[in-house]
Structure 1
Amino acid sequence: MSVVNKVGNLAQKLLDQITGAEKPKLYYDPKGDLKDVLTQLPQLQQKYRPTPWLSNHHAHLLYFDLIKKKSVKLKYDHTEQLTMQDGGITAITWYGYDLPKDTPTIVLMHTITGTPDSMRELVRDLNAYTGWRIALCLRRGHAGLPMPIPQMSVFGSTHDLREQLSVIQNHFPQSDLYAVGSSAGTGVLVRYLGEEGGNAPFKASFAMCPGYDTEKGFENVHPFYSKMMTKKLFKAFIYPYQNTWKSVESVQQVLATKNLQEFQNSYFEMAGYVDYASYNQAVNPIYVFENVKIPLMVLNSEDDPVCSIKNFEPYKQTVQGMPNIVVVTTKKGSHCGFYEGIQTKSWASRLIADYFKAFNK
């Protein structure tokens, strides 16, 4: 080895130590259904090296939320508003709609206050890496959708998702479906997968930065982000729809909450339930998690200040006994960022795409 190579290797090792670059950890059943798929993902055998100036999890998250989201340019094909059976409004925002009808479709479930604009980077990346169609499923009240019915849910509704999937399948009956949930979107994804079991229409699914047990997950959110995100919920779902919420007495109590845990404990009536216990039983994905039957890859960062890695701890053994699930954890990556390289490209988007393509051969 030349002197130049030795110096380069030493410099890389030093940079890796400083930035926290490590190989991902995998939690799965080594005799399970995903063992062959994992051999097709060399990315998981290499170090995830975060962008050096984003190795701090707060810097990484703020860059993702305040800079990267706003810098990505993407023109969607169109947004299709849907009226649910109870009169509520959801929508599907399409990208790659006019691709051949048998092109696979990635069904994307967005973040806690997600909009087409905030999801542009992930939509762009998944389309670029796969060449597939993207169907972004908007939940009630997101992106300024009309809210004629006083009902919304932070984690979404599997009833609404079923209606959205029916529309997608009617448009493209020949298209194989894949599913991605991002942050809060993992709640409705995993809840749906558990409710449907082997009947879920997806060939494979991916949950990025889930909180696992939604009853307890908000307890571990960093206080700054919990307070900030609670205010964002007010601005997105309550203030613009004050006429809609007039008949819901608990709204003022919800507006008095200071963090996400308080918000969730108080807003059950806004989600359509008579008490918190009923809401939690109907929405929490952890109650049906062990009934997920299709392939599911989960990605968490150990330095995530929003969906803490602590939330995964109670389920490590369970996951390693399930043949169709693998949980990938990285030392760095913050919340939904996972940026690498000078150009701050998403390591996670590349992983999602390669994982899905392994099922499309």
Structure 2
Amino acid sequence: MSSAGAVAGFRPNPLLAPQLIQTVLATKRPVRGRFAGHDHAMHRASVQHLLDGGVADGDPVQLTGLYARQPDERASRGLVVLIHGWEGSHDSAYLYSMASKVYAAGWNVFRLNLRDHAGTHALNPRLFHSARIDEVLHGVRAARQIDGGSDRPLAVIGFSLGGNFALRVGLLGPAAGITPQLSIGISPSIDPGATLRAIDDGPAVFKRYFLDKWRKTLAAKAAAWPGRHDFTALASLGSFVEITRRFVAEHTEFACLEDYLARYTLTPPMLMGAASPLAIVTAQDDTVIPFADFDGLGARGSVIAFDAPRRGGHCGFIENLALESWAEKRVVEWLSRL
């Protein structure tokens, strides 16, 4: 269940091994200052950009992101675009930490924010949903233009739902003129229907967490566009499956939940037959992303690496009491081969 490499397999400190601890540390561990001068160098170099996300539903789309260029541009290894998870942002601990590690390894980094994330609810009148891959492809293209063009390697890294988006960039990007040398999914949600059911059936603390996040983002969207959106019917629902079903029916172009989920469901055969190279890290104890979703997947075809350690939680992979991420080391190893 793992790819060969110089970085040893994931063996967390026993105190950090439980799934809940791993998952909480993914978003709550302190990350600023972890990489000494490198971390602060990325932070100082980061410049916010407003991106052209194309047109969707007849409206021009705007996205945001932060770009950090290497001090010596001639020494840059290329560009890495990072995509956060659902209700995350460019500043989420797991993404900021990965970006710092990649920047320290000599890459320019662009931390891309999805629509309605990082406080951008007022930028676009229509709501975010997970099938909006076209605007993410536009965002990656815009990030590459900011970086100076397409003559150097491009890699895309995403976490959870962002991992699904990153893998879709690898799948669909080549047809749109965007061909990453590697697209990496960390704990990617490849079967979103299974993810919704796992949240509903899993630990109550996770269900409350995700429902609270959903309600807050709906409230922020309604406040940003007074009189345009009414989410009253959604606020009282207590099932993640049912709130998504109602949301799809009332606030998207899809006829039903099943049509919506099918638009961004990724199967192992699809991944292994992708148009550009992919790599995946997921944990077998992840209660948000069922490990059964990956049945039949291996480091074959376009999937050049597939690591599935027994522990790691959701986007965790914290290996020691210094709270260092094993997944970051693995990603840097893969990028070094490009």
Q: Does 1:354 align with 2:318?
A: no
Percentage identity across paired residues of the two chains: 16
1:152 to 110, 128, 132: 128
Which structure 1 residue ranges, 5 or more long, are not aligned? 1-24, 27-37
1:169 to 140, 144, 149: 144
- Opposite residue 312 of structure 1, the aligned amino acid is F
For residues 38-97 of structure 1, give each alpha carbon's deviation from its aligned partner in whole angstroms, at most 9, with x where no partner exists: 55x222xx3422023111111222233233358867525121122433233311211236
2:236 to 222, 243, 256: 256
Q: Whole-Å Cα distance in 1 between the matches of residues 293 and 227 of structure 2?
A: 36
Which structure 2 residue ranges, 5 or more long, are not aligned? none
Q: What is the TM-score of this pair, normalised by structure 2?
A: 0.82
2:312 to 307, 314, 333: 333
**Does structure 1 conserve the Cα–Cα contact (< 8 Å) formed by 2:20 and 2:313?**
yes
* Corresponding residue for residue 95 of structure 1: 68
SS of the equivalent of 2:139 reads helix
Q: Where does 1:1-361 land on structure 2 (aligned, <5 Å)?
A: 25-26=1-2, 41-43=5-7, 46-68=8-30, 75=43, 77-84=46-53, 85=55, 86-96=59-69, 99-100=72-73, 103-118=77-92, 119-128=95-104, 130-145=105-120, 146-153=122-129, 155=130, 157-171=132-146, 172-173=148-149, 174-196=151-173, 200-221=178-199, 222-224=202-204, 225-235=206-216, 237-243=217-223, 244=225, 246-248=227-229, 251-268=231-248, 269-286=250-267, 288-289=270-271, 291-313=273-295, 316=296, 319=298, 322-359=301-338
**Does structure 2 conserve the Cα–Cα contact (< 8 Å) formed by 1:57 and 1:334?**
yes
Q: Whole-Å Cα distance in 1 between the matches of residues 192 and 97 of structure 2?
A: 26
Q: Whole-Å Cα distance in 2 between the matches of residues 47 and 260 of structure 1?
A: 34
Q: Whole-Å Cα distance in 2 between the matches of residues 124 and 164 of structure 1?
A: 21
For residues 271-326 of structure 1, give each alpha carbon's deviation from its aligned partner in whole angstroms, at most 9, with x where no partner exists: 4434334422333334954541222111111111222323223xx1x546535343
| Bigger Rg over Cα | 1
**Does structure 2 conserve the Cα–Cα contact (< 8 Å) formed by 1:139 and 1:156?**
no
**Which segment is superposed worse, 332-341 or 98-107?**
98-107
Q: Whole-Å Cα distance in 1 between the matches of residues 320 and 300 of structure 2?
A: 35
* Corresponding residue for residue 33 of structure 1: none
**Does structure 2 conserve the Cα–Cα contact (< 8 Å) formed by 1:217 and 1:308?**
yes
In the TM superposition, what is the alpha-carbon distance from 1:99 to its structure 2 partner? 4.8
For residues 232-256 of structure 1, give each alpha carbon's deviation from its aligned partner in whole angstroms, at most 9, with x where no partner exists: 1221x2111215374445x333323
**Does structure 1 conserve the Cα–Cα contact (< 8 Å) formed by 2:182 and 2:277?**
yes
- Opposite residue 170 of structure 2, the aligned amino acid is L
- Opposite residue 65 of structure 2, the aligned amino acid is I
Q: Whole-Å Cα distance in 1 between the matches of residues 226 and 116 of structure 2?
A: 12
SS of the equivalent of 2:308 reads strand
